Each structure stands twice: as C-alpha cells, then as structure tokens.
Structure 1
Amino acid sequence: MVKSDETVTITDTTKLLRDVASLYLNQKFSDVTLLVDDQKLYAHKVILAVRSGYFESLLYEDPGNTKQAEITITGVTFDTLRSLLKYIYTGTMTISSDVDSTLQILALAHQYSFADLQTTIIKKLKPLLNLQNVCAVLNTANLYDLEELLQACHSFMDLNASEVVGSDCFTDLSHKSMIKLLERSTFFAPEIEIFKNVAKWCKINNDVDDLVIQCVRLSWMTVVDIVTTIWSSKLFDCEKLLQAIAEIVGVKTKLSSSRGFYLLDENLATVRHKAEVVSG
C-alpha cells in the first residue's frame, strides 16, 4: 500500500460570496431588523459586525442593543442605508451621478469605517464638481477631514473664484469651510466682491467670534471701497478700517486690489506676464 502526503486545496470563494450575498435583505435567519423612517431592513448581526466596526460596537458592545431584535437608525435615509447594506453583503454598490445621495453614502462610509468605499466615492465625486455642488462637497470634506476631496474642491474653487463667490450656494458654506477657503491666497477674486458676499453669508449664518469676516483682507481693497462700502456695513470697527486705509496709502499704492492669480499649467516666464531677463 502506497501512502501519499499530497494534499489538495479546494477553493470555492465564488459560491461562498454568492451564498452570503443571498442573505441581503433576506428575512430567513435574520436576527436583527434595522428601522429607518418606519421601514424595515432585515439583517444578520454577525455579518454586520464582522464587516463594520461601527455595527460591531452598536450590536455587541452597547448593552441596550445586544439583545434587541429591532434597532432604529437615525440620520440616514432608507435608500442610503439599503445601498450600504448591499455593499456589506455583496461588496458591490452602484453610485449614481446624483451628488447629494452620493454625499450621504460617503458620510456613512466614513462613519462605518469603510476606507476602500470612501476612497472610491471620492474618486467618483472629483470629476463631478461644478458651481452648483462644490460648496456642499466642500462642507462634507471639511466635516470629515477628507484631505483629498478637500484639495479637489479648493482647486476647482481657485479656478472659478469669481463665479463661486457670486453663486447661490456660497452662503451655504459651513463656518469651517468658509474660513479655510478665504485663508487661501490662491482664491483669486476682487476683495470687495469677496467682502460683499461674505457679508451676505454673515447675515444668514453665525460667524462665531467673527472669524469669517476677519478673513476679509481690507488692505487689498481701495480707500474708496472702504469709505463707501465697508464703513457703512458696520462689520468692522473704525480703528481697524483706519489701520487698513493707512496700510493701503502707505504700503500698497502700486498693488492691485485682488489676491493672487491661480494659473494652471501656464508658463509665467513670458512677456505677457511682464517677465524679463535680469542677468545671463
């Protein structure tokens, strides 16, 4: 009799994935029901927990939820949570071109620590940025400290600064988003136009500690702007306005009343940009 030490490894991950996917929204074997807006989503605790640290904590570490068969989920729409559950069970998700719904899924992906899904959604959002949605996307990027998405929004806004300042969504920017944007010297638009629209923002939103209005660069305006427009707004005290006028007259008489230009892939060493050879 001949003995063989050979072993055979059988791999059938396709069927495994198919079997797990078949449990998506399946009431069979379900041991927890997620309630969203009075609608039910049937799920399985062990699958949710092993796929998401958030659900592991919610279902197994929270004494109030450990033995509950129904758990109410707030702060999310039914369709958004259903899409996330599909990703949990199948590893796939369909992301539409609707930015609002995509931002909701991004928020959940961040909250539930799905790093790969979060990265994929950010890549999907970047080419979809436009004047109608960039403020909402920027708010989300700042809320969750998504640096890649933040840089994409800032780059788009730098290239379209005047249009962004005058857009309807400008007043929808969060306090944090507004400050970070105005602190950028590459966010190029006439400072007086920036002030006018920041003043509108301040009427609608709470400018905590006046941090937003203080981002307006008074010394980059003209004396006429300060006397005719800024003074009457009463958003700055007289001493600050006088200091700005003194700086304008004494230091910046030859400079423009704007921030810096933002030029993408353009050679600055040309006559058009007043470049000249100084040696060599």
Structure 2
Amino acid sequence: MSTQVNEASSPGTTKGTNTDDIDVVDRVGLDMGRLCMNDLYSDVEFLVEEQRLPAHRNILAVRSEYFRAMLYGDMAESKQREIRLNVPVDAFKKILGYIYTGTLPLSKLDVDQILDLLNLVHFFGLQNVEAAIEKNLQQNASLSNICKILNAAHRYSMNGLRKNCLNFMDCKASDVLNHASFEMLSKELLEEVVRRDTFVAPEVEIFRTVCKWNQLNPSADIKTVISHIRLPLMTVSELLHVVRPTGIFELDQILDAIDQVHTRKNLHYRCVKLPGEKLPLKTFTKYVYDHVTKIPKFSLINCITVTVSGGAEFTVFVSNDDEVWDEVGVYALKSNVTKDIHFTERCVRYISIEILKPNQNENYIIKVILKYNV
C-alpha cells in the first residue's frame, strides 16, 4: 500500500459556496516548492556530506520547532551562515522538501530509505510525519524487513508498530528464526521475542538460533536470554545431542528437563490464542466412535463449539502430546444442534471426541470450532 504525507486535505479546491472566495493553496505550494534548496532569497546554507543546500530561516522556523530553536534561539548556529549537519544527505533533502511543500511521497521509498528518513524525522520532531511513517511500515512489513522495523520501533518508542511487529513474528515464527535478518535484533529484543508464549516454533530451533546470534555477538551476555529457553519442550535426543554439547546449560538443568519430558508435568508450552478457527473432524466410519485431530499449532483455547449429526452423548478430551489426555467433560446434543463448551483456558495440540452409547446404524459427522473467548 502507498502512503503519502500531505498536509493540504484538498489542495486547489474552493472552500465554501461564495464565488468571491479565492483559494490558490495548490499554487502557493508550487511556489514554495520552487524555493526549496534554491539560492533565491536564501539566508542560510546547510553543509551535508559536502553538499551545500541553501534554505530560508523564516520558512524553516515557522515549520519546525527544532529549526526555530537552532536559527533564532541561543544556539551558535543562529549566528552562522553555514551550518554543518552530520546526517544522510538524501534523507535531509526529503525533509527539506516536506518542510517547504507539506508533501512527502513515502510510497516511492523502500523500507531502508524510510528507516533513514525516520531517524531524521524523529530528530527534528516532525510528529505527523512520524505517524505516517509508522503506518507505512505497518503496511509494508515482510519477512525480510520485520527485524529492522522492530529495531526502529523499539528505538523510537513506537509502541503500536512494535506490537504489530511482534504479532507478525508470532505468525511466522519458524520462518523468522531461519531468516538471516534475525541476527539484526538487539539483545533486548531477542530476549523479548524468545520469552513470548505466543512465539510458537520448535524449541530446538529457538535454541539453535540464540546460539547462532551469540556467535555473531560474542561480547553479549545471553544469560537472561537463555533463561527463557524451555528445555522440557525438547526431546531427550535434542537435549543430549544439541543442547548439552554447547555447555550453555548445566548438566543438572538438562537432567531436570529430561525428567519433565518423561513425566509430562508442568510443561510451559508456547501457544497461539485462537480467535475462532474451524477444525471439522472427518466423518466417522461406522463402528468407530472416537477420533483424534491434531491442531496445526499449539493453541490457547477456552471454548469448543461442537455439532454432531444424528445427535449423541460424547466425551471431549484434549492433549498436548497425544499421550496424556485431560477430560473436558461429558455432553449430550440433539442432531445438528450446536453447543459451546466452556472451560479454563489451556494450551492444546490434540482434541478427541468419543461417542458414548453409539447407534451402530448411524454414520456420525462431528464438526468442531476451537476458540478463545474474551
């Protein structure tokens, strides 16, 4: 999607119904644009990457509090004709263009250019431009740039953008881990991603990626990061042949994790919160009256909507590993009547519906929707 900063809501249009009114705001914008980086009437020059960029103090001061303080305040620059700025010249030219014309075509810039621009926009305090850039980055986030955008959102306290980035990464966790750009994350953000319950990927993948990040950042202390690695979610083989050789965890920690793998108790699963995902179970063959369905991801649910053709009494079971099953309850439904079954939220990977006292002449069809109801 394209995003453009434009301060004139309808340039060139006549406002009101009085035909005596004059509105040439578009012409004024064009005239102002001609003055941008033009020697005509200029009274200050910016030296940026050895380029001389002429400007007009009064225009800059009216349009920017930063330049007002610089050019008319107590700063040394207020008495200088030439002012050197240590900023990227291309981004600074775009800022000048915006100050003079009120427009900034973000749709023509790639993400790297927009991030360079964001640094100056934040520095110069152009809040409306910053808001437009935040919207643009949300619309153009992708696997290849999401870590760059998250770093920027964190740096400039753009909380809405930061939240959207983390949600994006949750949805594509394994892809994000395997992408080279993941190495760009700061330690603080790496820790934030790894500790999220909703960042669902094989735990061994998360561990390997943290190790790779540490190899590229050897001076970083990753103790707080690895404290969020959930060892009991790995297999015994992964613990012994992947984790143990790194020496990152003590042997006692690995043995405790192995014990939890065997007992399957108190496992802190990573799971996504389902808004309402339809998972129809397959038609049951006659004389087979229980069925297990595997959910694509570990999912946090607190409600199951069930419909049974033919009607029946049935038991609902849920599990994380297809070995240890928890009974949710016993229910009865008339044919094709839908029922919401509510229970305490839990992380689930498998669901089983067992028909009780089945009619052997009935070919049951069960449909299930897993939900997280707020």
TM-score (norm 2): 0.64
2:235 maps to: 222
* Identical amino acids, percent of aligned pairs: 36
Shift of 1:56: 2.8
* Distance of 1:143 and 1:89 partners within structure 2: 28
List per-residue Cα deviations over 1:179-214 (Å, max 9, x = no partner): 221121111100100100110001112434632232
* Distance of 2:129 and 2:63 partners within structure 1: 12
Match of 2:83, SS state, is strand
Instruction: Please say if 1:77 is aligned against 2:91.
Output: no
Match of 2:208, SS state, is helix
Q: 1:79 to 1:241 in 2, by over 3 A?
A: same
Shift of 1:16: 4.2
Which of 224, 249, 262 in structure 2 is aligned with 1:211?
224
* Distance of 1:30 and 1:236 partners within structure 2: 65
Which of 86, 100, 104 in structure 2 is aligned with 1:89?
100
The total of aligned residue pairs comes to 270
* Distance of 1:246 and 1:229 partners within structure 2: 17
1:3 maps to: none
Instruction: Please say if 1:200 is aligned against 2:201.
Output: no
Higher fraction of strand:
2
2:250 maps to: 237
1:260 maps to: 271
Aligned pairs (5 A) from 1:132-171: 132-171=144-183
* Distance of 2:26 and 2:203 partners within structure 1: 60
TM-score (norm 1): 0.83
Alignment RMSD (CA, Å): 2.8
Which is higher, the Rg of structure 1 or of structure 2?
Answer: 2
* Distance of 1:146 and 1:175 partners within structure 2: 18
* Distance of 2:275 and 2:248 partners within structure 1: 35
Q: 1:40 to 1:266 in 2, by over 3 A?
A: farther
Which of 2, 24, 34 in structure 1 is aligned with 2:36?
24
Q: Which runs of 5+ in 1 are unaligned?
A: 1-7
Shift of 1:122: 2.0
Q: 1:265 to 1:110 in 2, by over 3 A?
A: farther
* Distance of 1:118 and 1:85 partners within structure 2: 15
Q: 1:207 to 1:268 in 2, by over 3 A?
A: farther
- Give the conservation status (yes or no) of the 8 Å contact 2:235–2:261: yes
Instruction: Please say if 1:59 is aligned against 2:71.
Output: yes
Shift of 1:12: 5.5
State the one-letter code of the partner of 1:216: I
Shift of 1:115: 1.9
